[in-house]
Amino acid sequence: MNKIHNFINGQIVDSASTEYSPVFNPATGEEIAQVVQSTPTDIEAAVAAAKAAFPIWAATTPLRRARIMNKFRDLLEENLDELAEIVSREHGKVHSDAKGEVIRGLEVVEFACGGPNLLKTDMSENVGTGIDSHALRQPLGVVAGITPFNFPVMVPMWMFPVALACGNSFILKPSERDPSAAMFYAELVTQAGFPPGVFNILHGGKHVVDALIEHQDIPALSFVGSTPIAKYIYERGASFGKRVQALGGAKNHMVVMPDADIEKTVNALMGAAYGSAGERCMAISVVVPVGDEVADKLKTRLIEELAIMKVAPGTDNDAEMGPLVTKAHLDKVAGYIAKGVEESAELVVDGRDFKMTREGYENGYFIGGTLFDNVTTDMTIYKEEIFGPVLSMVRAKSYDEAVNMINEHEFGNGTAIFTRDGDAARAFTHEIQVGMVGVNVPIPVPMAFHSFGGWKASLFGDHHMHGAEGVRFYTKLKTITSRWPTGIREGGSAYVMPTME
Ligand code: NAD
Ligand 1, atom 38: nearest CA belongs to which residue?
A: 281
Residues 126 and 273 in one domain: no
Mutate to test the pocket of ligand 1, among 281, 286, 436, 466 (most ligand atoms within 8 A of CB): 281
CA distances from 180 to 86, 204, 206, 227, 278 (A): 7, 13, 19, 25, 22
Average pLDDT per block of 10 residues along the chain, 501 residues long: 96 96 98 98 98 98 98 98 97 97 98 98 96 98 98 98 98 98 98 98 98 98 98 98 98 98 98 98 98 98 98 94 98 98 98 96 98 98 98 98 98 98 98 98 98 98 97 98 77 76 65
Tell me, what's the pLDDT at 487? 62
Helix, strand, coil % over all residues of the chain, rounded to 5: 40, 25, 35
Tell me, what's the pLDDT at 500? 67
CB 279 within 8 A of CB 97: no
How far apart are the C-alpha atoms of 205 and 189, rounded to whole Å?
A: 24
Gap from CA of 258 to ligand 1 centroid (Å): 37
Tell me, what's the pLDDT at 214? 98
Ligand 1, atom 23: nearest CA belongs to which residue?
A: 225
Global pTM reads 0.96
Q: Ligand 1, residue 148: give the atom nearest the CA.
A: 26
CATH number of the domain to which 110 belongs: 3.40.605.10
Residues 228 and 337 in one domain: no
Gap from CA of 393 to ligand 1 centroid (Å): 26
Residues 77 and 123 in one domain: yes
Residues 221 and 273 in one domain: no
Helix (H/G/I), strand (E/B), else coil: 179: coil
Gap from CA of 166 to ligand 1 centroid (Å): 25
Is any atom of ligand 1 closer than 6 Å to the C-beta of 451?
no
In this structure, is residue 25 part of a structural domain? yes
CATH number of the domain to which 266 belongs: 3.40.309.10
Q: Is 281 an annotated catalytic residue?
A: yes
In this structure, is residue 486 part of a structural domain? no
Tell me, what's the pLDDT at 486? 75
Is any atom of ligand 1 closer than 6 Å to the C-beta of 453?
no
Is any atom of ligand 1 closer than 6 Å to the C-beta of 83?
no
Residues 222 and 370 in one domain: no
Number of domains comprising the chain:
2
Q: Ligand 1, residue 453: give the atom nearest the CA.
A: 40
- The neighbour count for residue 68, using CB atoms within 10 Å, is 20
Gap from CA of 142 to ligand 1 centroid (Å): 21
Ligand 1, atom 24: nearest CA belongs to which residue?
A: 148
Q: Ligand 1, residue 458: give the atom nearest the CA.
A: 41
Residues 130 and 49 in one domain: yes
- Look up the domain containing 107 and give its range: 2-248+458-480
